Amino acid sequence: MKTPQEVIDFTTYSNQIAAIFKFDEIASDAYVKNRIDTGNNRKQRYTAFNNVIIPNYTKLVIEAKKIKAPNTDLQALHEIYLKAIKLQLEAMTMMKEALYKTKVSSTAINAANKKMDEL
């Protein structure tokens, strides 16, 4: 059974995460829309990564680093969350770099996907 303090701690932490979740939603929506390579959309995909996805994931990581979990159990979970979103940002940055080239490098995209699989 949860003690009142544990409920308060969880609510406090949840509210902090909810406040920054918008950055993840914006980036994820843009990623889903620009995930498929049609052969003719490299510039559109690169622009989405450069102007929407990477900036929003960066904001997510920056704001998540500011969150202080109210107890050690939540802090341990928060550290796992931070690690996951940092890996996600690294993978998205790798994808952006792969799209920057005139010819998209499937090797670079595969490396980015492999980075995502580390989650």
Query: In whole angstroms, what is the distance from residue 32 CA to residue 58 CA?
Result: 18
The model's pTM is: 0.84
pLDDT > 70? residue 102: no
First to last CA, the chain: 31
How confident is the model over 19-75, as pLDDT tens digits?
Answer: 999 999 999 999 999 888 777 888 899 999 999 999 999 999 999 999 999 999 999
Supply the pLDDT for residue 37: 76
DSSP 119: -
Closest CA to 64 of 27, 95, 31, 32: 27
Domain ranges of the chain: 4-117
pLDDT > 80? residue 115: no
Per-residue CA distances from 17 to 54, 82, 115 (Å): 19, 11, 24
